[in-house]
Amino acid sequence: MMLSAQTESDGIMMSKNNFCGGLAYTYSYWDHYWEGTFRRNNANIGTVRTSSITAMGAYGVNDRLNILFSLPYIKTSSTAGTLKGQKGIQDLNLYLKWLAFRKNVDPSGYSIFVVLGGSTRTSDYAADFLPMSIGLKSSTLSARLIGDYQIKDFFVTVSGSYIYRFNIKIDRPAYYTDKMIYSNEVFMPDVFSSKLGLGYRKGDLILEGVVDNMNTLDGFDIRKNDMPFPSNKMEMTRAGINLKVPVINGLSIIANSFYTIQGRNVGQSLSGSIGALYIFNLKKTNT
C-alpha cells in the first residue's frame, strides 16, 4: 500500500495502523483586493501579511478509512495604517475519509472517496476585524466527493465540497449589511468549493498542478471604502502547485505555492508553504 501523507481533497490514503504527522509553515501577502468586483489597493492598510504554523496528521484506521486533522497558529499584520495585527490558534479541522470505490485495470486505476468532517474554533479570537482577523469564528460541517484517475505515474483528481457554516456572534449590538440589523448574531452563508489537480505521482513523490475555487452561496459586497465583514459574499479562484519529495524512509518534505487569479471581496494573495511529514507504523508487523 502507498505510504503517503494526504489531505481531505486528494486521491490517496494512509495504510492501516500508519500515522503521518508533521508541521508546515505558510506565508501569504496581498496589496490589492476586490471590493465587490472592483480590484483596488488601499494606502490605509498597505500590504496585508499572514503567516501560520500548522500541525497536521492522518491515521489509517484501515486501508479504506482514514482520520485527518489540522490545527493552525496564525499571525496577521499590515505595513501601513493603524489596524493592529492579530495572532492565535485558529480552528481545529477534523475529517473522516472513506475509500468508497477502487478499480485497477492495468495500467490505470479509478478511485472514489467520500470525506465528512468539520471545524470549530479553539480560541476566542475576534472575527469582526477583517482583514486582520485570524478566522471567521464559524463552526462548520462539510461533505466532499473526490474522483481520482491514475494511468501509470500520471493522475487527475477532481473534487467538490459543500460546507455548512453556523452563525456567529460579534461584539456589537447592531451592524449594517445591505440593511440595518439590530442583533449581535451574524448569518453566515454556506460555501461550495471545487478542485482540479493534474500531476505526476510515483510512490511518495508527487508533483501536482492545481486550480481550486471557493464560492459563498449568499452574502453582500464590501461597501465603498468600508472594512470587510464575515458574511460578505466571497469568491476566489486560485492556481498553484503542490510538491512532496521523500527524503529518507518515512520522512518527506512538502511545499506548495498559490496565487489568487480572480476574486470577489477577498485579497489577491500570493502564498507559499513548506513543511515536513513523517510516517509512523503504530503496529509493528513482519510485512
Tell me what the mean pLDDT of segment 215-228 comes to: 96
Structural domain of residue 96, as residue ranges? 18-281
For residue 2, being part of any structural domain is answered with no
Residue 5 within any structural domain of the chain = no
Beta strand pairing call for 251-264 and 65-78: unpaired
CB atoms within 10 A of CB 156: 15
Q: Is residue 57 part of a domain?
A: yes
| Average pLDDT estimate for 236-251 | 96
- Structure confidence at residue 1 (pLDDT): 33
Q: Is residue 6 part of a domain?
A: no
Region 213-231 average pLDDT? 96
State the total domains in the chain. Answer: 1
- Domain membership of residue 3 (yes or no) is no
In-domain check, residue 31 = yes
**Does the pLDDT value for residue 258 go beyond 60?**
yes
- 8-state DSSP, 228: P
pLDDT of amino acid 138: 98
Give residue 36's region: left, alpha or beta (phi > 0; psi -120 to 50). left
Which residue, 279, 261, 282, is CA-closest to 271?
261
The Cα–Cα gap between 186 and 176 comes to 10
Answer yes or no: is 25 within a domain.
yes
Check pLDDT > 70 for residue 5: no
Average pLDDT (124-138) is: 97
- Tell me, yes or no, whether 150 lies in a domain: yes
User: For residue 76, is pLDDT > 90?
Assistant: yes
pLDDT tens digit string along 16-67?
A: 999 999 999 999 999 999 999 999 999 999 999 999 999 999 999 999 999 9
pLDDT confidence tier of residue 285, bands split at 50, 70 and 90? low
Question: Where residue 155 sits, what CATH number does that domain have?
Answer: 2.40.160.40
